Chain A
Amino acid sequence: MIYPLQVVFILVSAVTLGAALMVVTTRNMVRAALWLVLALFGVAILFVLLEAGFFAVAQVIIYIGAIAILMIFAVMLTRRIAQDPGPQLNSTWPIAAVIALLVFGLIVFLVQVWDRAASLPPPLPQGFAPLQELGVALVSADRYLIPFEIASVLLLAALIGAIVVAWERK
């Protein structure tokens, strides 16, 4: 018995994986960035299928709207030729492929033995506003204030670091 949702899931996953493969195989950097947009969009649709609307929107706005577009800007600004002429595989790729397959097998095995994977999570109670809860949890001292604040400090440190790295010398 195949549900329509499963068909959608398989199609979206295939498109996401195919686009991700194109990101690393295409030689043109701008095209790679555009394939990345497609891959990220596929992930956003997966979030929709999981009924995680907020994550889907965040995925589109942050990853596609900001990060991928920034990447395209960076490629265009820094590279005169947006092509990668070098070889795409190095001599150790068979080992890497074997390891990747082994890890994939391990993950499949882990999901098989993981009892929680088979059980559906309980539905959310009536009137529960996940977005509001998330927002409140991030800024309440008795919830996740500390990681939120550290992440802010982390971003500031990264910002200063980026300026140090990129700033023109006098």
Chain B
Amino acid sequence: MWADRLAVLPVIVIGAWAVLLTVADLYIPEHRRRITAILAALGLIVGLVVNLFIQRHNPQTAYFGLAIADGFSSFLNVLFLLSGLLGIAVAHGYLQRQNIARSEYYSLLLFSISGMMLMGMAADLIIVFIALELLSIPLYVMAGFHRDRLDSEEAALKYFLLGAFAGGFVVYGIALIYGATGSTRIAAILSAVQSGSASPILLTVGAALILVGLGFKVAAVPFHMWTPDVYQGAPSSVTAFMAVGAKAAGFAALLRVFLLAFPTLSDKLVPLLWALAALTMIVGNIVAIVQSNIKRLLAYSSIAHAGYILMATVTLGQSRLMADAAAAALFYLLAYLLTNFGAWAVVIALEREEGKGLSIQDYAGLGKKYPALAAAMSVFMLSLIGVPPTVGFLGKFYLFRAVLEGGFVGLAVIGVLTSLVSAYYYLRVVVVMYMQEGEPVVNRDALLHWTAALSAIAVLALSLFATPLFQWATQATLYAAQ
């Protein structure tokens, strides 16, 4: 009983904190909204401490085997909690500047994070589905936080409708898998699949439907149509959080469910995953070239990065490699988290009212007037391309290595070529910042500048300590892949 509670304690902390924060907020005067933000951040820090404290090496299932606490989930918890902290750091000043500060923002953020954490802990498809909804519903509302602006409303509605649609796909897939195997428990599905008692057609269709649903969530092509509009319309602080958190949660479920439950279906699923990864990398990177709005550019970049992470799933069925590939995906997500939040912090620093300051041309002259900010942005752009010595390079390196070891040379070649394409549009931002004259306007928001600076330092420094970090990720996934 107590062991159960201990296993899911980080989620309990964040969920309970979200509820208490909502109540406590009633007693905080409106002009002291800073306190709510600080309390929310404190909750995330408590969650981090609890998570590190109870980190275990042996996987432990809890509550009737529905949830599992293992290295995989505790690594992901760190990722989600960090993205929450950075999400608060970039949001606080931004919301006030945009005149949309409401303290419910922080409660919704915490609710969403508790859903993401459950997603990483799911040992049962029912939990996958409810956690998906718990992480998504607050995000729909947050995307529409800018109620005065039509594009924010459009973003919320689009995200909601397509998210609901995606949720429907996932449930349908779960139903078919339940029909085939008689269980929604991942371990039970695996044993039913291995014993051959389950109908492979039903299973494959079910798995494909779950893939479609999660593909929507992680913005994989051809399920990416909502991404540019939602990323552009939603308040930038929400987009920054959504791009990392929702993506990482989607991949958490994808990796856990597919690598654990369906390794024997690899002959049918691997071509699907291969095509999905290749398409996502190609479309994301090529369409990004023509974007002139930095939010849309980062949206397509986020689609492209989903493609890179999807590469990890093609090792499905090669049991020796799966742990390594999953570790590479986790490492990549961590690299993406730092780089992405840094880049968004710079974007938010330049964004003004009425959506001004978002075109790439607005970055002209940044190198001269604000050399530190421009240098940080350059670091993030290089990391997004995957140039050494940034953490983004190592993320790509580990992923490509896993894919090559799996024998998917073609996919790795597509990955390298699309990375080259991506250099064009990422470097264009750098060129505009340094080579063109302009009068950029930058918000004075210390928290934002610190976020950008610390992220840039982390992106560079973690590339030096990548090996222990990758080992941590490998240890995390070894148990998950067993």
Contacts and interface: CB of A to CB of B under 8 A. Distances in A.
B400 interface: no
In this complex, which of B62, B64, B67, B180 has the most chain A Cβ atoms within 10 angstroms of its Cβ? Answer: B64
B147 A153 contact: no
B205 A106 contact: yes
A151 B130 CA distance: 7
Interface size for chain B: under 10, 10 to 19, 20 to 34, or 35 or more residues?
A: 35 or more
Interface in A143-164: 143-147, 150-151, 153-154, 156-158, 160-164
A29 B62 CA distance: 47
Interface in A124-168: 141-147, 150-151, 153-154, 156-158, 160-165
A113 B199 contact: yes
Contacts of B199: 113-115
Contacts of B308: none
B147 A145 contact: no
Contact of B1 (A106, A115, A141, A165): A141
Contact of B8 (A113, A143, A146, A158): A146
Interface string B3-30: 0100010000001001100100000000
B130 A145 contact: no
Contacts of A150: 115, 118, 127, 130-131, 134
B179 A114 contact: yes
Contact of A161 (B8, B18, B126, B137): B137
A114 B202 contact: yes
A146 B111 contact: no
B147 A169 contact: yes
Contacts of B180: 114
Contacts of A76: none
A145 B141 CA distance: 27
Contacts of A165: 141, 144, 147, 156
Given A141-B63, A144-B66, A164 B127 contact: no
A169 B147 CA distance: 10
B280 interface: no
A142 B63 CA distance: 5
Interface in A97-120: 106, 110, 113-116
Contacts of A146: 8, 62-64, 66-67, 127
A157 B205 CA distance: 32
Contacts, number: 91
A153 B15 CA distance: 7
Given A150-B134, A154-B134, A110 B205 contact: yes
A110 B201 contact: yes
B104 interface: yes
A160 B112 CA distance: 12
A143 B64 CA distance: 5
Q: Is the interface of A mostly helix, strand, loop or mixed?
A: helix
Contacts of A147: 66, 126-127, 130
Interface string B464-479: 0000000000000000
B137 A157 contact: yes
B114 A153 contact: yes
A146 B130 CA distance: 10
A164 B146 CA distance: 11
B12 to A, nearest CB: 9
A25 B207 CA distance: 33
A85 to B, nearest CB: 20
B56 interface: no
A115 B108 CA distance: 45
A160 B130 contact: no
B231 interface: no
B141 A116 contact: no
Nearest to B205: A110
B102 interface: yes
Contacts of A114: 179-180, 199, 202
Contacts of A164: 102, 104, 108, 141, 145
B137 A145 contact: no
Interface in B154-201: 156, 176, 179-180, 182, 199, 201
Interface in A63-84: none
Nearest to A117: B179
A165 B170 CA distance: 26
Contacts of B145: 164
B133 interface: yes
B250 interface: no
Contacts of A160: 22, 104, 107-108, 111, 141
B30 to A, nearest CB: 10
B143 to A, nearest CB: 11
B380 to A, nearest CB: 31
A114 B200 CA distance: 10
B138 interface: yes
Given A106-B205, A146-B64, A157 B134 contact: yes
Given A106-B205, A146-B127, A154-B137, 10 more contacts: A144-B64, A145-B63, A146-B8, A150-B127, A150-B131, A157-B107, A157-B137, A158-B137, A163-B104, A164-B104
The list of the 3 closest CB pairs from A to B, nearest first, reads A161-B141, A157-B111, A146-B63
Interface of B: 1, 4, 8, 15, 18-19, 22, 62-64, 66-67, 102, 104, 107-108, 111-112, 114-115, 118, 126-127, 130-131, 133-134, 137-138, 140-141, 144-145, 147, 156, 176, 179-180, 182, 199, 201-202, 205
13 contacts: A110-B176, A113-B201, A114-B199, A114-B202, A141-B63, A144-B66, A144-B126, A150-B130, A156-B19, A157-B18, A162-B141, A164-B141, A169-B147
